Amino acid sequence: MEYKTRLAFLKFSFCCFFAFSLFSFQLKAQNLRVEPPNWWIGMKMNNIQLLVHAEEISTYEPKLNYDGVEITKIYTADSPNYLFIDLLISENASPGSIEIQFIKKGTKNLVFDFELQSREKPAEDFVGFNHTDAIYLITPDRFANGNTKNDVVNDMRETVVNRDNNYARHGGDIQGIINHLDYISDMGFTSIWSSPLLTNDMESSSYHGYAITDFYEVDPRFGSLKLYKELSQKASKKGIGLIMDMVANHCGSEHWWMHDLPFEDWLNFQDVYQSKKELPTSNHRRTTNQDPYASNLDSKIMHEGWFVPSMPDLNQKNPFLAKYIIQNSIWWVETLQLHGIRQDTYPYPNKEFMSNWAGAIMTEYPNFNIVGEEWSTDQLVVGYWQQGQNNNDGYNSNLRSVMDFPMQMKIVQALNEGNDGWGNGLVKIYETLANDFYYPRPKDVMIFPDNHDMDRIFTQLNQDIDKTKMAVGLILSLPRTPQIYYGTEILMENSDKPGDHGLIRTDFPGGWKGDFQNAFTRKNLSDNQLDFQRFLKTILNFRKTSEAILEGKMVHFAPFDGIYPIFRIHQNEVVAVFLNTNEESRSLDLSKFEELNVNGFQFQDVLENTSFNWTKQLQLKPGFSMFTTKE
């Protein structure tokens, strides 16, 4: 009995020792960070670079034994806690788990299982958004709360949900978007652009998503990577593509690497940051990208100055960071089967890097699309960034789509001012459209009435419904790629506090249990809200099937008497759009449009169940009108 007891005790002790050793190893392995965590076979980018972070990892030697995959180079950083490993993945490699061992004499090996996966579809099948799409922009925290259990994550820095505070988290999430895909589809939208859903573990105002603290993690208050994939898959089944909002310019000040920066030049003005001195902020002089007379000082402060102190400015001239950002973007495209990318603050990073970034993505996915944010109201500045532009400095952005801030501004100005004077009112829209000759592809330019960073269009137009209809209707009629911000369909506005971002990003009614109004079901909406929702839905769904709007040529006539006529023509389909800024109906002499050869055509009113023959006169009501020959 004594022998058996001792034997049992020894077995127990060994098991405890083994369990403790395994626990210690696993604990240490858990602190081993490898990014990207996986890759795919058959990629054009088959030479990838792993960022590895762990305590004293530079004193370890990485090794692997996997057919078709080899380590070609190993780099140390300024911090001893990083390794950068170049992997070459050959065409002969098979999917599987690659055990990467980190070996150090006198200590236990660290192990990471790097997944090599098969692609779900070939690169050519990643078809990006284009002018045939209508894009619905969503701020997820303010759209719908589909899962109240993830509202608060206790181990994160911001743990308060307060819908009465415009800058606190409100609880909207990925599940909330999934729950309302039918609504989005029925409205007539074919793409969703969501502001960033990656982890923003910041002390406050983390709801907006633009201060990313982990580029490979979905913020748990929004959901999980699995749920993000589910959103993409379910949206795709409904004919809705997913556009991801990416940020190459900066990260959040609580990003995990901010506590242990790999290189002395990982950030712009890193020495100033580390000495805790006052940081230079960007002068926002974006024209230094094109200006042949720009001083080096202005250019440096523009590109290297921090956007705000809570968003460290990344130095894309560091080759390891540059590769990290490019790989991260491709990883998300492949992981989520994306329909496109919207790149935040496009002209702020190093512009040579941005060309390489866009070029790498478009090389991998030749039918893909990326739109860059250049918040300039000058078409010369915006057009500089579109691929195919014949720039004097020879710069090629590789960027297919840009954002039409110039047209957005002119539409608002035109509708808010009278038509007295040679260049006032509707003429501003007419002349701005005349400048489309400058864009290599006007259809790829993204037009919008408003977005998450500017006053709601209903506010910009002084809460005038007719003007808002003219603005939105015009935008959906032009040879452009249109984007509509959530809530525009029910006249959401921020007139109480113009410029207030928290109020601009108001909760969408019905997205929370107990909401008095529900825009999804139309419960308790006002007559004006119901009317505008019907208006937008009608035009969006008509646009989806109108070859004249999607592919037709455009002919416009110089505004006269407060009226602006625009025609879209494709084969036998003609769409006639009129903006009438007068307060009363006007009798329109149709002989003005004789060159279009539509005399005698039967036209239907897209917004009302009426029709007329195009002969001599048309009684044109105030506001927006759209007629079509399409039956």
Q: Catalogue the active-site residues.
A: 344, 373
Helix, strand, or coil (residue 189): coil
β-strand partners of 73: 86
The helices-and-strands tally (H runs, E runs) of the chain is: 16, 26
Beta-strand relationship, 82-89 and 69-76: antiparallel
Amino acid identity at 293: Y
**223 to each of 103, 110, 175, 247, how far by Cα in Å?**
36, 30, 7, 20
**Rounded distance between C-alpha atoms, residue 507 and residue 166, angstroms:** 9
Q: Name, in order, each residue with C-beta under 8 angstroms of 460's C-beta and a sequence gap of 6 or more.
A: 412, 416, 450, 454
The residue assigned the tokens 């935040």 is 344
Tell me which H or E stretch contains 465. helix 465-475
Helix axis angle, 465-475 to 405-416, nearest 10°? 150
Whether residue 376 contacts residue 382, with contact meaning beta carbons closer than 8 Å, is answered with: yes
**Rounded distance between C-alpha atoms, residue 489 and residue 536, angstroms:** 6
Nearest to 217 by CA among 196, 199, 243, 242: 199
Tell me which H or E stretch contains 624. strand 623-628
- Helix residue ranges, H only, 477-591: 501-504, 527-545, 547-551
Backbone angles phi, psi at 241, to 5 degrees: -90, 155
Amino acid identity at 261: L
Q: How many CB atoms lie within 10 A of CB 489?
A: 24
Q: How many CB atoms lie within 10 A of CB 529?
A: 19
Whether residue 115 contacts residue 326, with contact meaning beta carbons closer than 8 Å, is answered with: no
